[in-house]
Chain A
């Protein structure tokens, strides 16, 4: 049996499949439909300091090969998260990563500080890129502020690996990636959704109440893959910071592409709505792939993409 396990910075995972924040609830919502114990890690919905009611419906619309969402970070808030969700998370059969969002430095710092002492939480992921909430864009798009935020949060999280989730809605993602690493991020995750819209031609109105929403699903996979590859080659590889790749991952082939491009792990979001067991099936597929390729450890595949101009791979024959 090939070895699917890996270390994401200081975080050991049994396999490289994660769930995407916001597509899998807080804990056991999918327990009847997927084997949670076979997940590399589970990532919660974004938690904010205060409870958020979210945007008006319509909050989602399907588009060709993808979907737009403008949920507006609807979540129970930190207090109810600690009171109602943490007791459930203690029983989760896989590592749990809490995703944190905020609207000010203080929001982030306070929420993250509350996570540091919780044993049931393996790592914290910062959502600095949710394109749905109007004032949420700033942190993720401005390298200076992103570095400052990362450094502030890192200070209150001495015991947990810090993941920063990058927004693709920026001029050059390597700038924000670099800023995040300089700020002290242990792991990068990318990408969040792409700002997009859809129009009801009969009503001559936007189809989302929020006008714009985040595009996810198979439609974004080629773009997400490119961004992962770029961040890996330009910034992350040399800095030794692992990447969690996401955006349209649906099959094990997609996962292999992301891993070759430089992701150490992959996260699955929209595909869970189609088949909640997708991560389990991807693991099965990855195992078969490694057997056929005669590769013992999946981690040997990370970033193994051969690009034109690269040093040719060493021949196995003398």
Chain B
């Protein structure tokens, strides 16, 4: 018989630390049934934390190592179990149990808050090597789930499910990609930048204040004052792929003083006529994305928006993540007939939508 269960319960369970010292994750014996409706290969994976570094106030970069992971593209996300999933299904509690032994986990989640549902996070980067796959997530502490993530340490295990959602459509060769990220909307822009290495692309990143920018700012590279909306090689994460960028802070603590959308407008106005056809990619707080969509629409620029919605399943079963789109009879068939709009699911139809389609 295993170590008595009370021992597990009394041990202070740290984030990602299986409560039992002899714990081994359940072997994944399940082979998916062939699915005629969608691309297979997606699954549930146990990833190992290789780093979880604070980037700035409240923001962490979590790096996860996996033996393998399906192909992914910028815009896609994963569903992260922000708690120790192994505790629920640990072999100690399930299979070494003996009649008569106390077996009661009831109430643990009532004693301290525990993230019940998975939390969606955009992929912020990916590296493939002979030893497997590394995924980057950037997360900001806003509640119980992200607080748990912030406590993860190298070697801890995290259960993830994915990849989920659609993806950004990359620009045509004659187009200039303009990436606009605000706050925790910046992570998918970093992954997109990886794919745009060497291409004509610039990035605009904004936050309330400098220490809420989850980015590595290269010292002395940001133009001060008037010219601060001219892209510079000033953010390491973009510069390493050859992208110049503009930093804005609402309080002026770094770069352009004001909203990132204002810097974007100034840039578009000034470069009007002497640049390739632009295409805008954006993710961030909803008011910001709405403004970006407006700016793009006013100028006839294509705009792809990665939206955020509260999600339970992340794969089209629960109908919780709906967002309003303009109805298009050719695309939508009989659905929502007689209405000018339609609900789409952010998790499966999105998270990336065309700005021109979104009614929010």
Contact = CB atoms under 8 A, between A and B. Distances in A.
B9 interface: no
Interface string B11-40: 000000000000000100011111111101
A274 B117 CA distance: 6
Interface in A251-303: 251-253, 270, 272-277, 280-281, 285, 288-289, 292-293
Contact of B97 (A37, A69, A277, A292): A292
A91 B34 CA distance: 10
B110 A64 contact: yes
Contact of B343 (A22, A53, A64, A285): A53
Interface of chain B, helix or strand or loop or mixed? Answer: loop
Contacts of A34: 30
Contact of B318 (A69, A76, A88, A285): A69
Contacts of B88: 250-251, 275
A304 to B, nearest CB: 14
A65 B37 contact: no
Nearest to A217: B116
Given A32-B41, A274-B117, A65 B317 contact: no
Contact of B35 (A22, A24, A28, A289): A28
A220 interface: no
Contacts of B319: 22, 45, 54, 59, 71, 74
B323 interface: yes
B331 interface: no
A252 B89 CA distance: 9
A171 interface: no
Contacts of B89: 251, 275, 281
A252 B98 CA distance: 15
Nearest to B103: A253
A27 interface: yes
Contacts, number: 155
Given A51-B335, A62-B116, A281-B89, A33 B43 contact: yes
Nearest to B345: A74
Interface string B188-203: 0000000000000000
A29 B40 contact: no
B117 A23 contact: no
Interface residues of B, number: 55
A117 B350 CA distance: 36
* Most chain B CB neighbours (cut-off 10 Å) among A24, A273, A292, A293: A273
Nearest to B346: A57
A270 B98 CA distance: 28
Contacts of B113: 64
B309 interface: yes
Nearest to B323: A57
B145 to A, nearest CB: 9
A36 B312 CA distance: 20
* Most chain A CB neighbours (cut-off 10 Å) among B41, B81, B315: B315
A45 B319 CA distance: 10
A166 interface: no
Given A71-B319, A250-B88, A273 B117 contact: yes
Given A62-B116, A274-B81, A22 B318 contact: yes
Interface in B341-357: 343
Given A32-B40, A37-B33, A23 B317 contact: yes
B316 interface: yes
A37 B30 CA distance: 11
Contact of A60 (B37, B320, B323): B320
Contacts of B287: none
Given A65-B116, A250-B88, A32 B310 contact: no
A252 B115 CA distance: 21
14 contacts: A31-B37, A32-B42, A33-B32, A33-B315, A57-B320, A58-B310, A71-B319, A74-B322, A272-B313, A275-B81, A285-B94, A288-B97, A289-B97, A292-B98
